[in-house]
Amino acid sequence: MSEAEGGGERTEAPTQKKIDQSREQGQIARSRELSQALVTIFGALALLLLGGQVLAELSGFMADSLGAVGQRDARAIGTALLHVMGIVGLLVLVPWLASLIAPSLIGGLMVSGKGIIPDLSKLDPIKGFARLFSAQAAAELGKALGKMLLIGGLVLAYIAANLDRLLGLAHVPLAAALAETGRMLMEVLLMGLVGLALVAAADVPFQLWNHGRQLKMSRDEIKREMFESEGRPEVKAKRRQRAMELSRGRMLEAVASADVVITNPTHFAVALRYDATRMASPEVVAKGADEVAAAIRERAVQHAVLRVESPPLARALFRSTEVGRAVPPELFTAVAQILAWAYRIKAGAHDPAPVPEVPEPLGRPFDD
């Protein structure tokens, strides 16, 4: 197990940031065996499908060219040449497209300028010599030997199984022998392609595993990355405090729009608002305890918002309802009594503040 920079074993899965950085640097999972197998397979298929037509076109081109030379017809030679180049170009195009598609099958398409910038550190002869005896070099050597043994073994097994058929070619007419030889060569080619496909099928999961292993991080690296991404703890604390102050400021501004503020009378304060034209039920626009409750009461005095002392209801609303949310159904009756009183006071009445009943357990005191 390799040692991570800064100490510690690389035992942790890579973070998304580490994965993204590796992609930007061109470090993604790739399988050369998969690319070689697909290029060879598609090239062989193109040759099997178009080979006969290519030979026919070449034969026709030779015949047309010789006839055109005798007639000194350069245009006919050029037309025949272009036709042949189109067929041959199609033969080349198929494996070329396969070479472009194959790398994206396991690592995805990627265009990175960093991946093509020369790395001068790789020119260090000492590091280069060390790479010759690294685990990666040993794996590549073992893979090459395994591929050679697998494909060679398949071909030898085919020859051994068809030895009588091969020796029998000496006793058949030349045309039949050539045709049979062509069929056997195609079968040998097929065996080789099967071997390449098996090697690629084994190499792809290995490359995915190896790429994941190389990207693993130590716990120190993850902590350092989190530190760089999120900043120092004291900076985060100040950021949270600032966000809380902004949120509290917006909440206190909303007290001016409240219909009534219900207090404990000193420990809790909850500001309520109700607009029958757009609200299904009253909502809490501000709430707080201790210092925040004092600020809500002070803001209520500044904006002439009615206040009523109802400790059970203040505790129940503080406990059960968040700012910006409607009051719970079990408190509708109690809140409705308070709001009705507030509307009567605004209309000029002089009724005493009601004492609404708050259901248990919402109205019970907090445990100090």
pLDDT, tens only, 137-167: 777 777 788 888 888 888 888 888 888 888 8
Q: Please state which of the ranges 49-58, 123-132, 312-321 shows the lowest mean pLDDT.
A: 123-132
Where do the DSSP E strands lie in 22-174?
Answer: none
Neighbours of 173 (CB within 10 A): 8
CA distance 97 to 188: 25
3-class secondary-structure state, position 1: coil
- Catalogue all structural domains in the chain, each as residue range(s) with its CATH number: 22-109+124-226 (no CATH), 237-346 (3.40.1690.10)
CA distance 160 to 334: 97
Sheet strands side by side (includes 268-273): 283-289, 268-273, 260-263, 306-309
Q: Which residues contact 81 (CB under 8 A, 6 or more apart)?
A: 61, 65
Q: Which of 189, 169, 188, 171 is nearest to 179 (CA)?
A: 169
Query: 62-80: string of b/e by CB count within 10 Å (b at 16+)?
Result: eebbeebeeeeeeeebeeb
- Which pLDDT score is estimated for 3? 45
- Which pLDDT score is estimated for 37? 85
- Is the pLDDT reported for residue 183 higher than 70? yes
- Output the CA torsion sign for 241, 246, 250, 253: positive
- Which pLDDT score is estimated for 144? 80
- The more confidently predicted of residues 242 and 295 is 295
- Which pLDDT score is estimated for 368? 40
- The more confidently predicted of residues 282 and 89 is 282
